């Protein structure tokens, strides 16, 4: 499976996850798109990948912006939003928490049959299904 991390995800964590998870591929936005590429642009582009990736996002604003949320819906991608608190963690804490949460992320991504939005708690590392994109 392919996981695609957005611009807000700590870039060094991509290499960490690739070393930890040999079964899946981790791709970072900055390896494919210019910094500042609008979410609507990269969402549309990766929706054409085969297989479609699951998105790991460090910025939940995409879910509150009507245009970006529609782009996510149109793209048909499963989306994991790191809840508030993740982006304020220091590197060492972020690193161990993302590794601890990762098996649950992978399990949810492979289990769902339809594009779904999940939230990953920074405190408990619980992965909650927010809603299905229909």
- Sorted by where each begins, the domain ranges of the chain are 2-132
**Confidence tier at 134 by pLDDT (50, 70, 90):** low
Q: Kindly tell me if the per-residue pLDDT of 60 is higher than 90.
A: no
- Comparing 124 with 131, the larger pLDDT belongs to 124
The predicted model scores a pTM of 0.94
SS (H, E, C) the chain: CEEEECCCCCCHHHHHHHHHCCCCEEEEHHHCCCCCCCHHHHHHHHHCCCCCCEEEECCCHHHHCHHHHHHHHHHCCCEEEECCCHHHCCHHHHHHHHHHHHHHHHHHHHHCCCCEEEEECCCCCCEEEEEECC
- Tell me which CATH code domain 2-132 carries: 3.40.50
């Amino acid at each position: 499976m392919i996981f695609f991390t957005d611009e807000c995800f700590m870039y060094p964590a991509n290499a960490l996850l690739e070393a930890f998870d040999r079964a899946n591929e981790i791709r970072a936005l900055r390896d494919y798109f210019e910094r500042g590429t609008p979410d609507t642009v990269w969402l549309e582009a990766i929706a054409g990948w085969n297989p479609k990736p699951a998105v790991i996002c460090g910025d939940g604003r995409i879910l509150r912006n009507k245009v970006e949320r529609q782009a996510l819906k149109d793209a048909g991608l499963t989306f994991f939003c790191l809840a508030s608190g993740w982006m304020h963690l220091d590197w060492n804490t972020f690193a161990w928490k993302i590794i601890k949460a990762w098996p649950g992320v992978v399990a949810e991504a492979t289990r769902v049959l339809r594009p779904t939005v999940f939230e990953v708690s920074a405190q408990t590392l619980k992965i909650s299904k927010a809603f299905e994109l229909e």
